[in-house]
């Protein structure tokens, strides 16, 4: 998603979500903090084995964003209960 979208969203409280995964808990903490610092909502998706599923999700999002001509203005938001 484009930086313009991410930074304008943060001020409204509806930050785009970004998933991350990995097997190293210290590295995951660092990555999560970097995402939060960039005004994204960091969501831990689990162990590294989840990466292939996240790649598929990213592919779908990019395809839709490009096809709809909203690429730099479209973000994903995960709703949690």
Number of domains in the chain: 1
Residue 22 lies in a domain: yes
What's this model's pTM, rounded to 2 decimal places?
0.76
Residue 40 lies in a domain: yes
Residue 80 lies in a domain: no
Which pairs from 36-39 meet CB under 8 Å and 24+ separation? 38/6, 39/6, 39/7, 39/9, 39/10, 39/15
Q: Which structural domain, as residue segments, surrounds residue 47?
A: 3-73
pLDDT, tens digit (0-9, with 9 covering 90-100), for 23-55: 999 999 999 999 999 999 999 999 999 999 999
Residue 78 lies in a domain: no
Which of 31 and 11 is assigned the larger pLDDT?
Answer: 31
d(CA 36, CA 77): 14
* Average pLDDT of the segment spanning 61-76: 88
Model pLDDT, residue 4: 56
């Amino acid at each position: 998603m484009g930086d313009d979208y991410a930074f304008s969203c943060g001020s409204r409280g509806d930050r785009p979500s970004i998933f991350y995964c990995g097997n190293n808990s210290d590295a995951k903490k660092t990555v999560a903090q970097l995402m939060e610092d960039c005004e994204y909502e960091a969501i831990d998706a689990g162990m590294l084995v989840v990466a292939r599923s996240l790649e598929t999700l990213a592919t779908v999002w990019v395809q839709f964003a490009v096809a709809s001509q909203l690429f730099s203005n479209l973000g994903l938001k995960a709703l949690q209960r």
